[in-house]
Amino acid sequence: MSKVFYDDIVDLAKVEKQIKKIAKSPEEREELYGLVDEIVHHKVLGCIMDKLPSEHHDEFLEELGKRPHDVGLIQYLGERIAGDVVEFIRAEVHKLTVELLLIAEEATRPGEVKKLKN
């Protein structure tokens, strides 16, 4: 996983613990980590773009492309988005974490048919 500006804000410990519990091999564990990383990234960026005024979208994406690891992007966003950006990102990732844990729990229940909800 590459480092991104919001890494220190989000807590994925419960998801990581669940992955370690359900993964059958190191390869499967790495694949699941990669999928979670990608899902979280899309969620965070989607939520940011929803809150960030559209006139700042291009500039933010350009800066993110140049320096995705730079925690200074939090300050950049804080100057352009109303409210506490750190708490906003933390709350959105927490909701996503709850969803991911529920999906993992449903998928690992013995004797039940595994079905994804549409």
Q: Which two tokens stand for residue 38?
A: 């990608």
pLDDT digits (tens, 9 = 90+) for 44-57: 999 999 999 999 99
Structural domain span for residue 68:
13-107
3 lies in some domain: no
89 lies in some domain: yes
117 lies in some domain: no
Query: What is the model's pTM?
Result: 0.84
pLDDT at 115 over 80: no
112 lies in some domain: no
DSSP string across 4-35? -TTTTT---HHHHHHHHHH-SSHHHHHHHHHH
Total domain count, the chain: 1
> Per-residue pLDDT averaged across 26-43, rounded?
94
Q: In this structure, are residues 77 and 52 in contact, taking their beta carbons and an 8 Å threshold? A: yes
CB pairs under 8 A, 24+ apart, for 11-14? 11/90, 11/93, 11/94, 11/97, 12/36, 12/40, 12/93, 12/97, 14/97, 14/101
113 lies in some domain: no
27 lies in some domain: yes
pLDDT at 117 over 80: no
Mean pLDDT over each residue of the chain, to the nearest integer: 90
